C-alpha cells in the first residue's frame, strides 16, 4: 500500500514549520519533507517531529543569491556550494533527516557537469550515512536548470560512483519534460531514492490532470517500493480542503 509524505514547502506553507508538521500528522501523512527549514531552530523541528512520530525525509540545499536556483553545478561557486551542502548536512543531522536534495542550479555544458560531480563527491563523502538526491526539473518551472532528464540524472549517478547518491524522481517534472512516467520509473528504480507527485500541468493535488496516479501507485506496489511518496503540490486554497485524494489513495 502506498504511503505519503507531506512536502511542507507547499502544504501548510502559511504555518510555522512545527505547526505544519503537526498539521501533517493530524491529516494522516506517514512522513514529512521540506525545502529550506533553516530559519527554524532545529531543536524546534525535532521536537515537533517527535510528537506525531513522523520522520523528516528530506530537505534542500540553499538556492543561493536572488535569482539562483542552486549552486552545485555553477563553476566558480564551489566554496558557496560546499558551504550550502555542509549547512544542510549539519541541519539534517540535528533533526534526524535522512536525505538532502543537492540543488544543481542554472548552468550548462561539460564544465558545469564536472563541477556538479565534484560537489556531489564532497556531499557523499561528508555524510556517507545520508542519501544525497539530485532531481531533474522541467524548464517551464526551472528555466535553464542544469539537470532536466531522468537519463541525465542516471548517468551522473553512475559516473559519481557513490552508493548514497540517488535520484529524486518527481513524476510532475518527468511528465512535463519526458513523458512515459511509468516506463521511466520502472527503468530507473534501482537509482531512485525518493518519488514525488503532483497533478500535471497545474501542479495541484494529484487527483486530476493529464497523469493518472492510480496506475503509478499500483506500479510502485508491484515494484515493492517501501518509502512514502512525497506530495509536493501547490494547494488551491487551504491545504486541509485539498486532501480528499489522500484518503482515497490510502484506501486502495
- Residue-by-residue DSSP string for 31-46: EEE-S--TTS-HHHHH
The confidence band for 247, taking pLDDT boundaries of 50, 70 and 90, is: confident
Res 238: pLDDT: 97
Residue 249 pLDDT class (50, 70, 90 cuts): confident
Residue 18, CA distances (Å) to 27, 41, 55 in order: 14, 10, 13
Tens digit of pLDDT for each residue in 138-175? 999 999 999 999 999 999 999 999 999 999 999 999 99
Q: What is the pTM of this model?
A: 0.96
C-alpha cell at 199: 497533478
Annotated catalytic residue, options 33, 44, 68, 135: 135
User: Domain boundaries in the chain?
Assistant: 4-250
pLDDT of residue 98: 96
* Mean of per-residue pLDDT scores for the chain: 96
232 is catalytic: yes
4-250: in CATH 3.20.20.150: yes
Say which of 33, 114, 178, 232 is annotated catalytic.
Answer: 232
Mean per-residue pLDDT, 193-197: 98
CA contacts within 13 A on the Cβ side of 24? 36
Range 76-103 average pLDDT: 98
Residue % of the chain over a pLDDT of 70: 98
pLDDT at residue number 248: 82
pLDDT of 190 strictly over 90: yes
Helix (H, G, I), strand (E, B) or coil at 71: coil
Edge-to-edge strands, sheet with 192-197:
31-33, 4-7, 229-231, 192-197, 165-170, 131-134, 99-101, 59-60
Amino acid at each position: 500500500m502506498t504511503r505519503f509524505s507531506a512536502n511542507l514547502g507547499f502544504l501548510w506553507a502559511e504555518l510555522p514549520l512545527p505547526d505544519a508538521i503537526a498539521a501533517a500528522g493530524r491529516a494522516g501523512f506517514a512522513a514529512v519533507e521540506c525545502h529550506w527549514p533553516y530559519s527554524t531552530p532545529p531543536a524546534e523541528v525535532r521536537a515537533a517531529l517527535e510528537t506525531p512520530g513522523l520522520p523528516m525525509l528530506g530537505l534542500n540545499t540553499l538556492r543561493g543569491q536572488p535569482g539562483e536556483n542552486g549552486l552545485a553545478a555553477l563553476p566558480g561557486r564551489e566554496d558557496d556550494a560546499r558551504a550550502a551542502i555542509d549547512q544542510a548536512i549539519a541541519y539534517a543531522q540535528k533533526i534526524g533527516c535522512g536525505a538532502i536534495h543537492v540543488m544543481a542550479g542554472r548552468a550548462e555544458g561539460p564544465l558545469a557537469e564536472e563541477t556538479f560531480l565534484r560537489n556531489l563527491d564532497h556531499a557523499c563523502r561528508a555524510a556517507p550515512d545520508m542519501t544525497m538526491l539530485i532531481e531533474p526539473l522541467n524548464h517551464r518551472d526551472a528555466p535553464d536548470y542544469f539537470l532536466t532528464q531522468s537519463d541525465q540524472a542516471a548517468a551522473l549517478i553512475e559516473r559519481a560512483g557513490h552508493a548514497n547518491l540517488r535520484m529524486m524522481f518527481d513524476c510532475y517534472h518527468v511528465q512535463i519534460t519526458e513523458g512515459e512516467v511509468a516506463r521511466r520509473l520502472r527503468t530507473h528504480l534501482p537509482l531512485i531514492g525518493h518519488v514525488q507527485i503532483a497533478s500535471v500541468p497545474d501542479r495541484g493535488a494529484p487527483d486530476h490532470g493529464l497523469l493518472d496516479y492510480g496506475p503509478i501507485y499500483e506500479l510502485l506496489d508491484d515494484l515493492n517500493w517501501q518509502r512514502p511518496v512525497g506530495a509536493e503540490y501547490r494547494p488551491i486554497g487551504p491545504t486541509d480542503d485539498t486532501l480528499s485524494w489522500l484518503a482515497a489513495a490510502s484506501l486502495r
